[in-house]
């Protein structure tokens, strides 16, 4: 029997193939082709950007596209859409995820887009209507943008009750690919996991109880370098639904990590590391951050495998630096929290290839290469981790009564051994030794200025902080594990 994820993905693609003949296209590589505005492909629409902007070569195959459907490999770990910091802390943001999408290029518009989406969710996938909430663009007076009352009327006519229809502003309901590029008002569908009476108050509130699943964007503008909005020559539909989140709904789970896309990876983590089994705890309930480590490792190994298969390696700048940091983040959680042995991270790759290989064959074709690259990078980092520990011990022995660690030594650990600053801080805290973080920040600032890298630090650095301590701010919450059978039957 095929895993439910395979069936759910395939059902989406077939549904749109059957509706006015959407052309099924393969996922593009996660490396953006000829688009310096992106570090990674962050949405299904990226590869169609020239169509939206009206710059597509009229003789190319792409110029012929009217209706398209696909399942796109997306990475959100840098740039405008950066979810790295949420990974592990919540159960529905990943650095790598699959985006199911359908497009109309100057063909159908709002009415058909909404009614097909509603039919697929409620009749094909069988999700009860009363669990769904829909948002639409409420307009922005200052910017001279009107509310999208057309979408509101369409949803009402499809049977969405007024109490389940909510207007939001630019941040939530005006989708933009990046700092520049195609954009427009959007209407989004959210799922209420709890069946709660006040679910409408939780829409767009970062609550695990009501989670956004599908975004329908009406592409009408190009955001220019000077920040202005230029109307596009034609109007288009661009939709994106996270497969992991949809699957969670259909399997009747509360967490993406409990679906068949992740649970075999969690099992492999347990077997390779010997850590206690995954319990699905979040925040303070997750004492020792064991479950967070499981989630971070499972997420990051997928991202590394997909990116390396597409030819992006951990390295020293741009997207490759992001991958290096993702790898180090995973290795650190694995070795420090799960107490996993060397070689652990790469040992998970065959499981990832098993799960995603049917949809993305490049993972199977490149498994050995992925394993080797992860192992080399892991060994590098473990060696510096060891050297770093020795340097810390040695420094402390030299001044046995010091309460503060010398800032210059900490800086050199960071600068020369690639230690994340918060890791040094964490290791010192365990020994009850202080560290002047303000002074370190200043050094980092000076260094960045020297290199003229300010922009990079803003965009990339933020996601690297691993301040495990701030988890304490998260609410105490346990996510129950439910049985294996799908919740909503569909064909």
Q: How many CB atoms lie within 10 A of CB 201?
A: 11
User: Residue 103 binds what, of ligand ATP, Mg ion, none (CB under 5 to 8 Å, by partner type)?
Assistant: none
User: Residue 94 binds what, of Mg ion, ligand ATP, none (CB under 5 to 8 Å, by partner type)?
Assistant: ligand ATP
Residues 399-418 that bind Mg ion (CB under 5 A): none
Q: Which residue, 145 or 241, has its beta carbon nearer to ligand ATP?
A: 241
Residue with tokens 């992001």: 322
| Site size toward Mg ion, by CB under 5 A | 2
User: Residue 222 binds what, of ligand ATP, Mg ion, none (CB under 5 to 8 Å, by partner type)?
Assistant: none
Least distance from C-beta 452 to ligand ATP, angstroms?
Answer: 30
The answer to whether 479 and 208 have CB atoms below 8 angstroms apart is yes
Least distance from C-beta 376 to ligand ATP, angstroms?
Answer: 28
Residues 181-220 that bind Mg ion (CB under 5 A): 212, 215
Q: How far is CA 73 from the centre of its chain?
A: 10
The answer to whether 58 and 90 have CB atoms below 8 angstroms apart is no
Tokens of 169: 């502003």
The H or E element that residue 394 is part of is helix 367-398
User: Which among 259, 281, 244, 265 has a CA at the least distance from the CA of 485?
Assistant: 259
User: Residue 244 binds what, of ligand ATP, Mg ion, none (CB under 5 to 8 Å, by partner type)?
Assistant: ligand ATP
* Three-state secondary structure call for residue 101: strand
Distance CA 459, CA 184 (A): 23
Residue 239 makes contact with Mg ion by CB under 5 A = no
The answer to whether 373 and 313 have CB atoms below 8 angstroms apart is yes
Backbone angles phi, psi at 40, to 5 degrees: -135, 160
Would you tell me which residues interact with ligand ATP (CB under 6 A)?
76, 83, 93-94, 97, 99, 175, 212-215, 240-242, 244-245
Least distance from C-beta 212 to ligand ATP, angstroms?
Answer: 4
Q: Which residue, 215 or 347, has its beta carbon nearer to Mg ion?
A: 215
User: Residue 99 binds what, of ligand ATP, Mg ion, none (CB under 5 to 8 Å, by partner type)?
Assistant: ligand ATP
Q: Which residue, 221 or 381, has its beta carbon nearer to ligand ATP?
A: 221
Backbone angles phi, psi at 443, to 5 degrees: -60, -40
Q: Which residue, 124 or 439, has its beta carbon nearer to ligand ATP?
A: 124
Tokens of 470: 């701030």
The answer to whether 300 and 88 have CB atoms below 8 angstroms apart is no
The H or E element that residue 176 is part of is strand 174-176
User: Residue 349 binds what, of Mg ion, ligand ATP, none (CB under 5 to 8 Å, by partner type)?
Assistant: none
Least distance from C-beta 215 to ligand ATP, angstroms?
Answer: 3
361's CB contacts (< 8 A; 6+ apart) are: none
Q: Which residue, 246 or 331, has its beta carbon nearer to ligand ATP?
A: 246
Distance CA 434, CA 424 (A): 10
Least distance from C-beta 200 to Mg ion, angstroms?
Answer: 16
Q: Which residue, 215 or 273, has its beta carbon nearer to Mg ion?
A: 215
Residue with tokens 């497009």: 103
Task: Classify each residue of 309-348 as buried b or exposed e, where b means 16 or more C-beta atoms within 10 Å of its C-beta.
Answer: bbebbbeeeebebbbbbbbbbbbbbbbbbbebeeebbbbb
Least distance from C-beta 435 to ligand ATP, angstroms?
Answer: 32
Least distance from C-beta 34 to ligand ATP, angstroms?
Answer: 22
Q: Which residue, 244 or 310, has its beta carbon nearer to ligand ATP?
A: 244
User: Residue 237 binds what, of Mg ion, ligand ATP, none (CB under 5 to 8 Å, by partner type)?
Assistant: none
Q: Which residue, 85 or 111, has its beta carbon nearer to Mg ion?
A: 85
Residue 82 makes contact with Mg ion by CB under 5 A = no
Q: Give the residue at shortest CB distance from ligand ATP.
A: 242
Q: Which residue, 203 or 281, has its beta carbon nearer to Mg ion?
A: 203
Distance CA 163, CA 199 (A): 10
Angle between helices 290-309 and 318-332 (to 10 degrees): 150
Distance CA 14, CA 65 (A): 17
Least distance from C-beta 240 to Mg ion, angstroms?
Answer: 8
User: Which among 101, 103, 157, 104 has a CA at the least distance from the CA of 134?
Assistant: 157
Radius of gyration of the chain (CA): 23
Q: Which residue, 242 or 350, has its beta carbon nearer to ligand ATP?
A: 242
Least distance from C-beta 79 to ligand ATP, angstroms?
Answer: 12
User: Residue 214 binds what, of ligand ATP, Mg ion, none (CB under 5 to 8 Å, by partner type)?
Assistant: ligand ATP
Least distance from C-beta 382 to ligand ATP, angstroms?
Answer: 28
Q: Which residue, 250 or 385, has its beta carbon nearer to ligand ATP?
A: 250
Least distance from C-beta 76 to ligand ATP, angstroms?
Answer: 5
Tokens of 9: 């993905």
Name the residues that contact Mg ion, by CB under 5 A. Answer: 212, 215
């Amino acid at each position: 029997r095929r895993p439910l994820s395979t069936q759910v993905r395939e059902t989406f693609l077939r549904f749109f193939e059957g509706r006015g003949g959407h052309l099924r296209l393969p996922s593009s590589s996660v490396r953006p082709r000829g688009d310096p505005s992106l570090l990674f492909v962050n949405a299904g629409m990226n590869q169609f950007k020239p169509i939206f902007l009206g710059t597509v070569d009229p003789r190319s195959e792409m110029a012929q596209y009217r209706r398209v459907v696909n399942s796109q490999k997306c990475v959100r770990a840098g740039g405008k859409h950066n979810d790295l910091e949420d990974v592990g802390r919540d159960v529905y943001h990943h650095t790598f995820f699959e985006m199911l999408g359908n497009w109309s290029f100057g063909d159908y518009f709002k009415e058909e887009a909404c009614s097909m989406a509603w039919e697929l969710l409620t009749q094909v996938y069988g999700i009860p209507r009363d669990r769904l909430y829909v948002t639409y663009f409420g307009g922005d007076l200052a910017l001279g943008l009107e509310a999208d009352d057309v979408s509101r009327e369409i949803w009402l006519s499809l049977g969405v009750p007024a109490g389940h229809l909510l207007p939001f502003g630019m941040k939530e309901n005006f989708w933009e690919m990046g700092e520049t590029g195609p954009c427009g008002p959007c209407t989004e569908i959210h799922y209420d996991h709890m069946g709660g009476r006040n679910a409408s108050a939780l829409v767009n509130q970062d609550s695990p109880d009501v989670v956004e699943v599908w975004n329908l964007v009406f592409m009408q503008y190009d955001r220019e370098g000077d920040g202005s909005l230029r109307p596009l020559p034609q109007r288009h539909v661009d939709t994106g639904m996270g497969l992991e989140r949809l699957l969670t709904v259909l399997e009747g789970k509360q967490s993406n990590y409990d679906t068949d896309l992740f649970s075999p990876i969690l099992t492999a983590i347990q077997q390779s590391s010997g850590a206690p089994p995954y319990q699905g705890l979040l925040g303070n309930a997750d004492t020792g951050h064991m479950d967070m480590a499981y989630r971070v490792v499972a997420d990051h190994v997928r991202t590394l495998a997909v990116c390396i298969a597409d030819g992006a390696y951990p390295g020293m700048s741009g997207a490759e630096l992001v991958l290096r940091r993702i790898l180090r983040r995973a290795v650190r959680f694995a070795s420090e929290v799960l107490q996993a042995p060397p070689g652990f991270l790469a040992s998970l790759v065959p499981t990832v290839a098993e799960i995603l290989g049917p949809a993305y064959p490049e993972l199977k074709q490149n498994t050995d290469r992925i394993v080797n690259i992860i192992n080399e990078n892991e060994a590098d980092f473990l060696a510096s981790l060891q050297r770093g520990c020795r340097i810390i011990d040695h420094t402390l022995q030299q001044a046995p009564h010091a309460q503060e660690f010398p800032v210059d030594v900490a800086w050199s650990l960071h600068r020369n051994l690639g230690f994340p600053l918060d890791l040094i801080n964490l290791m010192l805290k365990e020994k009850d030794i202080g560290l002047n973080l303000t002074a370190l920040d200043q050094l980092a600032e000076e260094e960045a200025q020297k290199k003229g890298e300010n922009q990079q630090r803003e965009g990339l650095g933020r996601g690297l902080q691993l301040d495990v301590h701030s988890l304490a701010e998260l609410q105490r919450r346990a996510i129950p594990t439910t049985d294996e059978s799908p919740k909503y039957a569909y064909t």
